[in-house]
């Protein structure tokens, strides 16, 4: 099993960098930052991708990404360029966490909110088509005409270091997006507070059945998450039996996160390696 940590975009910039350094020094595999400008917890935030660029320069091994980016929040062509830059800075360690968005206040303040969740999902799917086209190493330029997004003569160079492209990790429980994930995702992330075990089983079943239906040879890597206390209990063992391959420490306070990362590495990781 692999291990990582999720920190909040409401951490200070110094706090995010310190947490990433602790995660790398303790041998964790993943470091994720939530991607929000406004949150129910705090409206004092940093831009996750700018922070991850600094994390990518500070660290050398740990994979870095968002948990998750609301894809319709930013113009997809610009997002493709931003993520590519982080992948370049980190020498191929970036991960794009994929979500459709849920927090109306930040969209209304900084982007455009669609009350109908189905539209946000359609925008997400179309945006991913454009992003993947821009990341395609066989394409020098991209012309794209969709219902929500378009591009004419778009050139994204240099391409991502990651091959064939920056991995996509979906954070969703919806059936439609899970089917999309089974086709194009490399990983799956549950909501940060975690989900009930029965719902977890349903997600994994949907992913595996869809992978089988389309003849996918590899599979979407699935994660679970919890606080240090939850991961120290039998929770992680239960999720491991359901197919969890990656355990993520979540909901840590900025002042305690380095200590909890140390506990994760010393008290939990050895039992699963």
Distance (Å, whole) CA 8 – CA 250? 9
**Torsions phi, psi for 251 (to 5 deg):** 60, 30
The answer to whether 87 and 162 have CB atoms below 8 angstroms apart is yes
DSSP string, 33-90: E---SS-SS-S----HHHHHHHHHHH-SSSEEEES-EEGGGS-HHHHHHHHHHHHHHT
Quick one: pLDDT at residue 194?
83
Output the six-digit token pair for 126.
């179309």
Per the structure, the count of domains in the chain is 1
The percent of residues above 70 in pLDDT, for the chain, comes to 100
Quick one: pLDDT at residue 192?
85
The answer to whether 136 and 161 have CB atoms below 8 angstroms apart is no
Distance (Å, whole) CA 35 – CA 14? 17
* pTM higher than 0.85: yes
Using the predicted structure, report yes or no on whether residue 77 has a pLDDT greater than 90: yes
Confidence band for 168, pLDDT divided at 50, 70 and 90? very high
Quick one: pLDDT at residue 148?
98
Stretch 116-122: mean pLDDT, rounded?
97
The answer to whether 63 and 92 have CB atoms below 8 angstroms apart is no
Quick one: pLDDT at residue 193?
80
**Mean pLDDT for the chain overall:** 96
Confidence band for 98, pLDDT divided at 50, 70 and 90? very high
Quick one: pLDDT at residue 255?
97
Domain of 231 in residue numbering reads as 2-272
Omega into 145 within 30° of 0, i.e. cis? no
For residue 263, list its beta bridge partners.
none
CA geometry: angle 61, 28, 211, nearest 5 deg: 90
For residue 62, the domain's CATH number is 3.20.20.30
Identify the sign of the CA torsion 136, 86, 97, 123: negative
What would the pLDDT profile of 246-258 be if each residue is shown by its tens digit? 999 999 999 999 9
The answer to whether 97 and 71 have CB atoms below 8 angstroms apart is no
What would the pLDDT profile of 27-75 be if each residue is shown by its tens digit? 999 999 999 999 998 999 999 999 999 999 999 999 999 999 999 999 9
Q: From the CB of residue 21, how many other CB atoms can be counted at a distance below 10 Å?
A: 17
Quick one: pLDDT at residue 235?
87
Distance (Å, whole) CA 112 – CA 104? 9
């Amino acid at each position: 099993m692999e291990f990582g940590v999720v920190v909040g975009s409401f951490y200070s910039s110094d706090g995010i960098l310190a947490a990433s350094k602790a995660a790398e020094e303790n041998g964790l595999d993943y470091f994720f930052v939530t991607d929000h400008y406004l949150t129910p917890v705090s409206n004092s935030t940093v831009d996750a991708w700018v922070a991850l660029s600094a994390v990518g320069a500070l660290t050398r091994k740990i994979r870095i990404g968002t948990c998750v980016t609301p894809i319709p929040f930013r113009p997809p062509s610009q997002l493709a360029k931003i993520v590519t830059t982080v992948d370049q800075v980190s020498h191929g360690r970036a991960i794009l966490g994929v979500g459709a968005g849920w927090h109306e206040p930040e969209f209304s303040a900084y982007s455009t909110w669609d009350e109908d969740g189905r539209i946000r999902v359609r925008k997400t799917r179309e945006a991913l088509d454009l992003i993947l086209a821009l990341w395609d190493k066989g394409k020098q330029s991209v012309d794209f005409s969709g219902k929500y997004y378009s591009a004419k003569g778009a050139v994204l160079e240099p391409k991502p270091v990651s091959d064939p492209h920056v991995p996509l990790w979906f954070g969703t429980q919806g059936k439609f997006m899970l089917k999309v994930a089974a086709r194009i995702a490399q990983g799956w992330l549950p909501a940060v507070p975690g989900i009930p075990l029965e719902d977890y089983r349903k997600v994994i079943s949907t992913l595996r059945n869809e992978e089988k239906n389309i003849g996918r040879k590899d599979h979407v890597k699935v994660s679970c998450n919890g606080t240090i206390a939850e991961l120290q209990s039998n929770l992680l063992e239960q999720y491991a039996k359901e197919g969890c391959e990656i355990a993520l420490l979540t909901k840590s306070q900025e002042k305690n996160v380095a200590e909890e990362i140390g506990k994760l590495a010393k008290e939990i990781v050895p039992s699963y390696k």
